[in-house]
Amino acid sequence: HTSDSLMLEVVKYYEHHGEPRQLMEAYYYLASVYRDLNFTAQALEYFNKALNIPDKDCNLYKARAANQIGHIYMYQDIYKEALPYFEKTYQYAKLIPDTTLMVYALRDEGRSYQAQEKTQEAIRSLNSAAVIANQSKNRQLQNQIFAELSISYENAHDYLRAKQTEDKCGLFKQDEDYSA
């Protein structure tokens, strides 16, 4: 993106016409433009506007907006501020339901705890993510979560669990495609 001008026009239109969902999407996309332009304050403002539109049928955009806010805080090393947004992401993802988004929200929550050196909380979040990832049978998701969980166990100096968890990644290897 080089400018916010087109999305500002879209937002202006939906602030006076259309449905709340359309305005929420417009706010979300304008916030994404600001994020991409590294205009953090404006991105936070419009992600929050999207998050605060009262529409119970737009949980996907609310989950995404909350997740983006959490990541903006994480990138600024404001880990404690990120946590409630990852929890909101998880809650909205449960309502959809979107298993992958739930796993990533818990993973991000675990990362935030780990960055704050709250290793046991990180392990709890990542274990919750692992349970959901296992239920999803998504091998890539399982591998990602077990790799992260292994690191948290290592940070907790629980080397046996770290190794056992790391070994689980081998159980979820992607099938090789030799048809090239």
In order of 80, 124, 147, the CA distances from 73 in angstroms are 8, 21, 23
DSSP H helices, 17-175, are 20-36, 40-51, 59-75, 79-95, 99-115, 119-136, 139-155, 159-169
Q: What is the pLDDT of residue 45?
A: 98
Is pLDDT at 174 greater than 60 in this prediction? no
Is pLDDT at 178 greater than 50 in this prediction? no
Three-point CA angle 108, 114, 117, nearest 5°:
155
CA distance 123 to 155: 10
CA distance 39 to 9: 18
* Span 40-84, pLDDT tens digits: 999 999 999 999 998 878 899 999 999 999 999 999 999 999 999
* Span 94-127, pLDDT tens digits: 999 999 999 999 999 999 999 999 999 999 999 9
